[in-house]
């Protein structure tokens, strides 16, 4: 593969210079220099064992360092979560294969862990000679001792975890407590490093690392064979599906918003959040996208898990930790400086306690999709779904923090009211499809009242656009423009070709323009969110613009924009939450589910429109 030189700023590689590996329980980031600067153990939302991406000096990493490294690049084994990093040095070329290993025959569609609680690193010299240094520097002070042919690690943060590091070549503990060793290898020579946390690995009876890689790749390919998509950017759509699967918690069906915490929305700014949790909104969009390309198991699992949580809690929360409870209270970590000095680093998420009414519609829409595909609603499930509709009716007039989770006073956000309408509309459709008892006329009247409020009170006739929030009845609308307005026709609240929606699309496109097809979510100067600083362009808003152009029949424009957005993905096919409009670099947590579901959903919609166009010609 062609390789590129590496550039660092304040000691750190760009966000886009990382790949993602995972096993359905946790994940790791592998940098293009073959370091691993991110790994939470034992699960996605557990404390980080390695957090060098948030502080290259104190955060910790597991390195395979090639002396004199000149250039490098990465690729995935096709249709897998197995990553290969190619390192070029002064005297040789090294390939490093990384994966979180899976059990032989693991079925990734099952709601059981398929992983072996093992990070495997297999390096091989492809040509010439290479000096490689293995180095483990955990974030916290770890007690190390030799045991059973490997190294036992006592991690005070999680003392119950039995962590073990094994290396095919000798390691020693330095005066600084770092576990490491350097070896010179020639063409064909391998080096293997494995980190275990299952507590029951028999190091004396180690499996062949090549076999472990092969069985892990086989499990991924068996899952990827279920993807059904023929349309634009086919390879990237498949990779986006695999990325969403890498963010999918196998034991529950919960889909994380992103793999990381506190990667900044603006370098040096304070908009740094922990995204290692499941937002009902994000996951609902994700399952919509996955269902479109044949991946229904993941969609159904998420619905069952979330409805169980909502029933237990007396209503849905906006987000969940992987155990079904609430994320821990948000706190700032003074021990880490942040990516490129973008402090504070935060753990937990303070938005968990916010009021966000769109959650009713997001969850009901997932249930509606499920029943459309043949899912059956029994009396118990219908009681839970009916409660969501009633809660939407009760709450839609109450101001909330909205889809963007503002940290200022709530407002009657247009998208929130619209999604309450969606909740009732989908409840009506489910009831009628499945022949279920429901207060038909009351629900219809409530849905129509909400829809009228959206169309009338968010409309600014003078500017000729819908706005971010509803005006008080009888008063002029002073709301700003908001990228979430582009999602109204996606939810069926307003037709794509409604003249008001067409006008709104053009207003949003012009007013929130960040250049080259990118859009801001909103302008902080007009829409107060209670936070200082700025942020980058939000990728999903641009994919929603693609969807609107497609829905209006402007297919050439839509496809050109779609291709330009897809071109922003890394060579590995990964996307972050935001883009810096100044230089095109990545901002925000990474990889971001929102961005990848945009790739899938917009591609699918374009493909459907192109087929319909061909059928008419």
* 85 Cβ neighbours under 8 A, 6+ residues apart: 19, 30, 32, 34, 72, 73, 74, 95, 96, 98
Give the pLDDT band of residue 205 (cuts 50, 70, 90). Answer: low
- C-alpha 29/C-alpha 576 separation (Å) is 13
Q: Is the peptide bond before 42 cis (omega within 30 degrees of 0)?
A: yes
pLDDT digits (tens, 9 = 90+) for 409-442: 889 999 999 999 999 999 999 999 999 999 999 9
Q: Give 7-39 pLDDT, tens digit per residue.
A: 999 999 999 999 999 999 999 999 999 999 999
The pLDDT of residue 399 is above 80:
yes
- 276: its two tokens: 């290692």
Task: Please check whether the domain covering 4-224 is classified as CATH 2.70.98.10.
Answer: yes
Q: How confident is the model at residue 1 (pLDDT cuts 50, 70, 90)?
A: low
CATH topology of domain 357-512: Glycosyltransferase (1.50.10)
Secondary structure (DSSP) of 97-129: EEEEEE-TT--TTSSS--EEEEEEEEEEEEEEE
3-class DSSP assignment, residue 412:
coil
pLDDT tens track for 476-524: 778 899 999 999 999 999 999 999 999 999 999 999 999 999 999 999 9
The tokens for 108 are 């990734």
How much is the mean pLDDT over the chain?
Answer: 94
- pLDDT tens for 49-80 read 999 999 999 999 999 999 999 999 999 999 99
Nearest CA-CA partner of 319 in 288, 356, 287, 277: 277
Name residue, tokens 């503990």.
Answer: 173
Buried/exposed code over 501-535 (b: 16+ C-beta within 10 A; e: otherwise): bbebbebbbebbebeebbbbbbeeeebebeeeeeb
- DSSP type of residue 62: E
Give the C-alpha separation, 418 to 431, whole Å.
20
Whether the ω angle into residue 344 lies within 30 degrees of 0, i.e. cis, is yes
Tokens 């990384």, residue located: 98
Res. 475 pLDDT band, cuts 50 70 90: confident
pLDDT for 204 equals 46
The predicted structure's pLDDT at residue 615: 86
Q: What is the pLDDT of residue 202?
A: 54
166 membership: H or E segment, kind and range? strand 163-167
Q: How far is CA 362 from CA 59, 283, 348, 462, 466, in A?
A: 37, 9, 23, 31, 21
pLDDT (mean) for 83-89: 98
pLDDT in tens, 151-200: 999 999 999 999 999 999 999 998 888 999 999 999 999 999 999 998 77
H/E stretch holding 507 reads helix 499-511
Domain boundaries, given as residue ranges, for the chain: 4-224, 357-512
The model's pTM is 0.96
Q: Residue 591 has what pLDDT?
A: 98
Contacts of 36 (CB under 8 A, 6+ apart): 28, 29, 30, 50, 61, 62, 63, 98, 119, 121
Query: Which uninterrupted H or E stretch holds 28?
Result: strand 27-31
Question: CA-CA distance, 121 to 83, in Å (whole number)?
Answer: 10
For residue 510, the surrounding DSSP H or E stretch is helix 499-511
- pLDDT above 60 for 277: yes
CA 404 to chain centre: 16
User: Please, which residues bridge with residue 94 across strands?
Assistant: 87, 125
Determine the pLDDT at residue 94: 98
């Amino acid at each position: 593969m062609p390789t590129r030189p590496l550039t660092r700023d304040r000691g750190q590689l760009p966000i886009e210079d990382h790949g993602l590996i995972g096993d359905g329980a946790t994940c790791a980031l592998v940098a293009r220099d073959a370091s691993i600067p991110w790994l939470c153990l034992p699960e996605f939302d557990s404390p980080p064992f390695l957090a060098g991406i948030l502080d290259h000096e104190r955060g910790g990493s597991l390195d395979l360092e090639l002396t004199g490294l000149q250039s490098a690049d990465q690729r995935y084994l096709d249709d897998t979560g197995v990553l290969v990093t190619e390192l070029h040095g002064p005297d040789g070329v090294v390939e490093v294969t990384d994966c979180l290993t899976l059990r032989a025959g693991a079925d990734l569609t099952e709601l059981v862990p398929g992983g072996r609680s093992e990070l495997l690193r297999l390096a091989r010299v492809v040509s010439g000679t290479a000096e490689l240094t293995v180095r483990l520097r955990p974030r916290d002070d770890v007690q190390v001792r030799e045991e059973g042919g490997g190294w036992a690690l006592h991690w005070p943060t999680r003392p119950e975890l039995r962590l073990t590091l094994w290396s095919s070549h000798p390691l020693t503990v330095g005066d600084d407590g770092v576990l490491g060793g350097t070896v010179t290898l020639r063409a064909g020579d391998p080096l293997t490093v494995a980190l275990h946390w299952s507590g029951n690995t028999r190091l004396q009876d180690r499996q062949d690392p090549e076999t472990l890689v092969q069985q892990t790749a086989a499990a991924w390919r068996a899952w990827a064979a279920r993807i059904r998509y023929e349309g634009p950017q086919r390879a990237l759509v498949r990779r986006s599906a695999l990325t969403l699967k890498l963010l999918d918690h196998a034991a529950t069906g919960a889909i994380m918003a992103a793999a990381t915490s506190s990667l900044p929305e603006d370098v040096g700014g304070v908009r740094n959040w922990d995204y290692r949790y499941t937002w009902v909104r994000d996951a609902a969009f994700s399952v919509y996208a996955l269902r479109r390309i044949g991946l229904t198991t993941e969609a159904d699992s998420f619905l069952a898990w979330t409805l169980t949580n909502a029933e237990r809690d007396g209503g849905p929360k906006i987000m969940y930790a992987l155990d079904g409870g609430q994320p821990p209270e948000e706190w700032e970590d003074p021990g880490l400086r942040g990516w490129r000095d973008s402090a504070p680093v935060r753990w937990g998420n303070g938005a968990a306690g916010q009021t966000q009414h769109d959650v009713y519609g997001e969850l009901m829409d997932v249930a509606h999709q499920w029943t459309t595909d043949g899912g059956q609603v029994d009396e118990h499930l219908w009681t839970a779904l009916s409660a969501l509709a009633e809660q939407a009716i009760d709450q839609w007039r109450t101001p909330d923090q909205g889809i963007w989770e503002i940290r200022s006073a709530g407002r009657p956000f247009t998208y929130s009211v619209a999604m309450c309408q969606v909740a009732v509309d989908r409840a009506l459709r489910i009831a009628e499809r499945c022949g279920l008892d429901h207060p038909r006329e009351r629900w219809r009247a409530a849905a129509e009242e909400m829809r009228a409020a959206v169309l009338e009170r968010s409309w600014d006739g003078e500017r000729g656009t819908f706005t971010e929030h509803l005006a008080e009845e009888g008063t002029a609308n002073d709301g700003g423009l908001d990228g979430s307005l582009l999602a109204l026709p996606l939810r069926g609240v307003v037709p794509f070709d409604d003249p008001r929606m067409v006008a709104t699309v053009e207003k949003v496109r012009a007013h929130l323009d960040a250049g080259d097809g990118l859009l801001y979510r909103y302008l902080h100067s007009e829409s107060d969110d209670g936070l200082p600083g700025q942020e980058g362009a939000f990728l999903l808003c641009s994919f929603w613009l693609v969807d609107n152009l497609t829905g209006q029949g402007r297919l050439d424009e839509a496809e050109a924009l779609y291709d330009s957005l897809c071109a922003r993905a890394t060579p590995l096919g990964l996307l972050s939450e935001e883009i810096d409009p100044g230089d095109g670099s990545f901002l925000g947590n990474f990889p971001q589910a929102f961005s990848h579901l945009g790739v899938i959903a917009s591609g699918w919609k374009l493909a459907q429109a192109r087929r319909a166009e061909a059928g008419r010609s």
